[in-house]
Amino acid sequence: MAYFIQLVFAGIAVGCIYALIGLGFSIIFKASGVINFAQGELLLVGAYIVSAGVFEWHIGFLPALFLGIAVTVAIGLLFERFILRRMVGRPVFSILMITIGLDIVLRTGVILRWGTNPISPGTPFEITSGVNFGGVHFGASDIWTIIITVVLCAALYYFFNLTRYGLAMRATALDQEAALALGINIRTVYALAWGISAAIATIGGIFLATKSFTIDPTLGSTALLAFPAIILGGLDSLSGAVLGGIIIGLAEVLTAGYESRFANLLGAGFHEITPYLIMILVLLIWPYGIFGTRKVERI
Amino acid sequence: MSASSTSRRSLTGASADPPRLLGSLSRWASLCIVLIVIVAFFLIASEDWLTIVNDTLIAAIAALSLNVLSGYTGQISLGIAFFMAVGAYTAALLGGDRPTSSGDPLGLGLSFLIWLPAAGIVTALVGALIGPTALRLKGFYLGIVTLALVFIGHYLFLNARGLTGGPQGRTFPAPAFGDFSFAQQNDFFGLALTPGQEYFLLILPILGLSALFVGNVMRSRAGRAFQAVRDNEEGASIMGVNLFEAKMGAFILSSFLAGIAGALFASYSRYIVPNYWDLTLSIQFVAAIIVGGLASVWGSILGAAFVFALPLMLDQFSLLPPSSSSNSLSGGDLNALIYGLLIIAFLLFEPGGVVGLVQRWQKVVRKFNSHGGEGGEPAQVIDLAAPDRDAQPNVDDPSLPKSESR
């Protein structure tokens, strides 16, 4: 039983990371209809800068965190302003591929600067610290992941429901022309979406790196596990991204915890593909996800 | 290539001749020059160069395959690595050596003439199985599902030890006709052929056939349907294109070529671990077709040369400055940085890729020449048939595609 609770706790913590990354995807998709394949690499850049800030430049965790957020936000804003804005009206294919171009550039940039060897993640606490309670180990990073995710979700809820710009973003997502007619500055909305999403990516990157104890350039592809989360929740739904993230995290960790009992049947590494299997199943049955708007096009 | 330019010539006007396969004298001349270059390369190139060129030619077949699906039909796919792997493992299963001890991966030891076509056919069948599920989705969704395919494939390949050798990988068969095995040097009518030359003689015709086939399919009814689907799905559907059939056709053709390319690549490498078939490989092919030219046969070949030959050449001939830091710059990384930037630049400024640039340049040259000669380019006649007011589409016509039924 303690094992099960341990897994559920770990699953929720992992799910919170996927939720954070998924939120980044969803905010951009909702505002501008673009899936940003470079989100995983924004996260990678953020995690590396924070780590370098702590261990290489010795500026302390919080300044490093702000530096990381500042750099990723700057990359996001510049990419949106100078590249993506010129692509308005182009086929989905081109828009997706151009974010893959950014993805390649960012990952190679990180490799050129820091190499491919794993380095330690920058965190404000000991990676292995935590508390034991009733035979269950609650890791400090897991607890912090959950707390920060809850705080961020509350802040985003407040932002999207009770502030001027948050409402403007929702209005734009709902109907761009009507929003324009009401005097909403769409450019600000796009910039806000990319800025928020890049900032969340950095925070998600720190937790993802802490979870795996090291950072290396493959971290970005781990972030792709947020795709099943947002598909499950519905691409354009923020609460869906959070819920989907937690479900996917739980599914992955629970499978990882119990798959050794079925090793003859499942082989090794089955937990790595459970999120994708769930995603394909969801796409077949519920293409619009749990909370998404029903407009996925089919032939 | 010859196909598209002859058809363009007949469009722009003067000649009403049926398009000839090879066209004018200058075309014959350039063909001869290309042939001489190929033969000269074949005779004098070192084994290192042959390796680079053979890898590139195989990559060009795979790029062609992705171009059929993404360039011509407009369906986003990140799953080509998976389909190449299916082809490779089919080849390994059918052509591999029979296991001698219990730990060896499976192999039936069949002839090359069986395993190579089978690699394509089995991959096409796998594509036909996956297609109906994947192609229900459009745009980003298809991209994400094909991405999932790569990860699921990776899991399957790591665990199917009997077929793939597990994480340690397995050997792949070399083509052989009796004693004439491509794995070793052979005497061929007094000419000593190295393995690189033998593979070159095998791969180049396969690439040529594939390129000719794709180029011609794209001028046929089916190919026009693919391109109509890419340009406007609703429009294509209204014009009578069965969207599902067109997409499935492209998916199956693409899978077939990917399977052939995968089998050839594995056979040429002789030994591959399952980790090779990862997302990076898929993304390299995406980069290749964008840089080379979407919806272009030549674009696929040029793009493959750029993405796959360049890093090999940089590493092979150590053209990079020796780096002093511990994070040494590899040719692959530098090349990735360049093609990442080029993807962005080409999509922004010239979505036609290198081929688009060449066409733009040719247009300028032609304009310049015609101005010098007869004072103006002949206006292109666009034949807009007068709309027939009486003709009304028969809504109940059963031959019209039922778009909602799938």
Q: What single DSSP character describes residue A119?
A: B
Look at residue B62 and tell me whether its pLDDT is greater than 60: yes
Q: How many Å apart are CA B100 and CA B306, to the nearest integer?
A: 41
Mean pLDDT of A158-183: 86
Tens digit of pLDDT for each residue in A131-159?
Answer: 777 777 788 888 888 998 999 999 998 99
Contact B138 A297 (CB under 8 A): yes
Distance from CA of A101 to the nearest CA of B (A): 5
Mean pLDDT of A163-181: 85
Tens digit of pLDDT for each residue in B188-197?
Answer: 776 777 888 8
Look at residue B337 and tell me whether its pLDDT is greater than 80: yes
Q: Which of B138, B152, B347 is facing A273, going by the closest CB pair?
A: B152
Tens digit of pLDDT for each residue in B384-395?
Answer: 444 444 444 444
Q: What is the CA radius of gyration of chain B?
A: 23
Output the six-digit token pair for A90.
């182009």
Q: How many Å apart are CA B167 and CA B160, to the nearest integer?
A: 10
Using CA coordinates, name the residue in chain A closest to B330.
A112
Q: Where are the alpha helices (DSSP H) in chain A?
A: 2-32, 39-55, 61-82, 92-114, 140-162, 164-174, 176-181, 186-211, 219-222, 226-233, 238-258, 263-266, 274-285
Q: How many Å apart are CA A243 and CA A230, to the nearest integer?
A: 9
Tens digit of pLDDT for each residue in A228-270?
Answer: 898 888 887 888 889 999 999 999 999 888 887 877 777 778 8
Mean pLDDT of B139-155: 87
Contact status of B33 with chain A (Cβ, < 8 Å): no
Contact status of B405 with chain A (Cβ, < 8 Å): no
Number of continuous H segments (helices) and E segments (strands) in chain B: 16, 6
Contact A100 B286 (CB under 8 A): yes
Cβ-Cβ pairs closer than 8 A, A with B, add up to 137
Q: How many Å apart are CA B70 and CA B120, to the nearest integer?
A: 19
Mean pLDDT of A34-50: 89
Tens digit of pLDDT for each residue in B197-237?
Answer: 888 888 999 999 999 999 999 999 999 999 999 988 889 98
DSSP secondary structure, B358-389, as one string: HHHHHHHHHHHHHHHHTSSPPPPP---PPP-S
Burial class (CB in 10 A: 0-12, 13-18, 19+), A56: middle
Chain B residues close to A107, C-beta within 8 Å:
336
Burial class (CB in 10 A: 0-12, 13-18, 19+), B206: middle
Contact (CB, 8 A) for B151 and A273: yes
Write down the pLDDT at residue B318: 65
Give residues 277 to 316 of B whose Cβ lies within 8 Å of A: 279, 283, 286-287, 290
Closest C-alpha to A35, from A82, A85, A115, A100: A100
Q: How many Å apart are CA B72 and CA B294, to the nearest integer?
A: 7
What predicted TM-score, i.e. pTM, was given to this entire model?
A: 0.84
Half-sphere exposure of B244 (CA within 13 A, CB side): 14
Give the pLDDT band of residue B68 (cuts 50, 70, 90).
very high
3 state DSSP class of B37: helix
Q: How many Å apart are CA A226 and CA A19, to the nearest integer?
A: 7
Half-sphere exposure of B249 (CA within 13 A, CB side): 20
Distance from CA of B184 to the nearest CA of A (A): 37
Cα–Cα distances in angstroms (integers) from residue A163 to residues A156, A159, B198, in the given order: 10, 5, 70
Q: How many Å apart are CA B268 and CA B308, to the nearest integer?
A: 15
Beta-carbon contacts of A208 under 8 Å, excluding residues fewer than 6 positions away, are A17, A21, A43, A47, A219, A222, A223
Write down the pLDDT at residue B216: 92
The H or E element containing residue B149 is helix B139-159
Contact B327 A113 (CB under 8 A): yes
Contact (CB, 8 A) for A121 and A47: yes
Cα–Cα distances in angstroms (integers) from residue B148 to residues A225, A276, B319, B404, in the given order: 9, 6, 37, 26
Give the pLDDT band of residue A166 (cuts 50, 70, 90).
confident
Write down the pLDDT at residue B84: 95
Look at residue B4 and tell me whether its pLDDT is greater than 70: no
Maximum pairwise Cα distance, chain B: 78
Torsion angle, alpha carbons of B378, B379, B385, B387, to 10: -170
Cα–Cα distances in angstroms (integers) from residue B51 to residues A266, B197, B206, B298, B318, in the given order: 39, 9, 17, 21, 16
Chain B residues close to A33, C-beta within 8 Å:
none
Chosen from B142, B278, B294, B347 to mutate, greatest number of chain A CBs within 10 A: B347
Output the six-digit token pair for A178.
């009507």
The H or E element containing residue B193 is strand B191-193
Give the pLDDT band of residue B319 (cuts 50, 70, 90).
low
Output the six-digit token pair for A291.
């909370």
3 state DSSP class of B5: helix
Give the pLDDT band of residue B2 (cuts 50, 70, 90).
very low
Write down the pLDDT at residue A139: 80
Chosen from A37, A104, A107, A282 to mutate, greatest number of chain B CBs within 10 A: A104
Look at residue B323 and tell me whether its pLDDT is greater than 60: no
ipTM: 0.87
